[in-house]
A and B are shown apart, each in its own frame.
Chain A
Amino acid sequence: GAGVSQTPSNKVTEKGKYVELRCDPISGHTALYWYRQSLGQGPEFLIYFQGTGAADDSGLPNDRFFAVRPEGSVSTLKIQRTERGDSAVYLCASQDSMNTEAFFGQGTRLTVV
């Protein structure tokens, strides 16, 4: 596609449930990032993929969060046993080489009730 696509755009889930958020990067982009953004804050780094492997997962807040990118393209962010504090906008960005800019998708707004 022309840009980074994230689905769903909105997700409401009950506390304790499992959710998956999908990111489809710009075709050919090798780098993919997941960020989380709360109201009034900047994007908070979660995980960064180069190809299929996680180059840096130091931002994942705890073991309830996991992300995969099995074929080096689409990525899925998985959150187990969701908590109300997980409510935020989850942003995905992709990048085509080490030193070029990252482009963002429109985000998934996750609300845990």
Chain B
Amino acid sequence: QKEVEQNSGPLSVPEGAIASLNCTYSDRVSQSFFWYRQYSGKSPELIMSIYSNGDKEDGRFTAQLNKASQYVSLLIRDSQPSDSATYLCAVRGGGYQKVTFGTGTKLQVIP
């Protein structure tokens, strides 16, 4: 079982719709959770971090964390073509633990 799992996609949504990206992780003691966006040929760029159960909103982005289910998600409201990218879920355990990435979900926003 991979430590961090994501559906590779592509996930296609029409412009203006809500895009929902999901991630599960295997290590129950994980404490920090991140979503990165990566455009083709570029390095990952942090867009959201979440550390406690519940929702965290930042503009059009909402991260959701459920530690009991070992599940973290990212919602993108009013999706724009510029949101088309690969979204990477990353997880960190407690203390001085490494950050582990999933393989990413490719999102395509159709104008």
Contact = CB atoms under 8 A, between A and B. Distances in A.
A7 to B, nearest CB: 14
Give the bracket for the number of chain B residues in contact with chain A.
20 to 34
A31 B97 CA distance: 10
B38 to A, nearest CB: 9
Give the bracket for the number of chain A residues in contact with chain B.
20 to 34
Contact of A104 (B32, B43, B92, B98): B43
Interface of A: 31, 33, 35, 40-45, 48, 50, 55-56, 58-59, 91, 93, 95, 98-107
Leading 10 A-B pairs by shortest Cβ distance: A42-B101, A42-B103, A104-B43, A48-B98, A43-B101, A101-B46, A42-B104, A56-B98, A55-B96, A107-B43
Interface of B: 4, 6, 8, 31-32, 34, 42-46, 49, 51, 88, 90, 92, 95-104
